Amino acid sequence: MDADAYCREIEAHLCRRNAGHLVRVAGPAFEMVAGWAAQGIPLKVALSGIDRTVDRRDAKGPSRRPLRVEFCEADVLDAFDAWRRAVGVGTAGGGGGGRETSAASDADEPRQRSGPSLRAHLDRVVTRLTDCLASGAVAGGLERAIEKTLDELGGARAASRGFRGEARTAFIARLQALDDEVMTAARAATPPDALEALGREAGQELAAFRGRMSADDYSRAVEAATMKLLRERLKLPDIGYEV
């Protein structure tokens, strides 16, 4: 998608989120949004970041003022950071995105965690998995995998605040193993044609990065992006805990 089309999609989304106010991305804002396109930030990821800004503004009360696009910058780049770590890619180019992402160095340098505590993470995971079961949208092996995970996490939540050292490390590793089990069950429960469609969508998201990746790296990224889309489709939480 070229920069003009990308900006038009941003404008349309902002109009919808701003009670029909006409929004134009122009001047420095256009250069910034065009920079998102040049970096290869998938449109869906950019919109997710913009929604973070809008939701935070809306939580303060109703507003009739249109949202200034530049207020979305940090949220968009944070959403992009989370997406690219999940699928295993870096930035696809330069461009006027304002702040540079640290894609090239993040794989080598540890990130300081600023997310929820382990207990808060478990509370969120249990709530989301319970909602999945209650929706009736899962069945068979996936339903059993979710039920098994809920049984295990139910007992662990109360003890999680006391996990230290090796016990904490082992528990975090166990969370990742549970996530792998749930996603394996999710894949098995998804019809092949639906998986193929998700794979095509993943390829489109990664198109800006393909020229910079080896065939093996690209294949792994498409697989990771496909599983991320499947997770979103089924509304499954990420059970793993990022330290």
User: What are 165-182's pLDDT values in tens digits?
Assistant: 888 899 999 999 999 999
Whether the predicted pLDDT of 225 surpasses 60: yes
Q: Rounded to whole angstroms, how far apart are CA atoms 53 and 75?
A: 7
Mean pLDDT over residues 56-68, rounded? 74
Q: What is the largest CA-CA distance in the chain?
A: 55
pLDDT confidence of residue 68? 76
Strands (E), the chain: none
pLDDT confidence of residue 172? 92
Long-range contacts of 168-171 (CB under 8 A, 24+ apart): 168/118
Long-range contacts of 64-70 (CB under 8 A, 24+ apart): 64/19, 64/21, 66/14, 66/18, 66/21, 66/23, 67/14, 67/17, 67/18, 67/23, 68/29, 69/10, 69/14, 69/23, 69/25, 69/29, 69/32, 69/33, 70/28, 70/29, 70/32, 70/98
Mean pLDDT over residues 59-82, rounded? 82
Mean pLDDT over residues 209-218, rounded? 93
Q: pLDDT grade, residue 149 (50/70/90)?
A: very high
pLDDT confidence of residue 90? 67
pLDDT confidence of residue 91? 52
> Which of 13-17, 26-30, 199-203, 215-219 is predicted with the least confidence, judged by mean pLDDT?
13-17
The total of other beta-carbon atoms located within 10 Å of residue 182's CB is 24
pLDDT confidence of residue 66? 65
Whether the predicted pLDDT of 109 surpasses 60: no
SS3 state at 58: helix
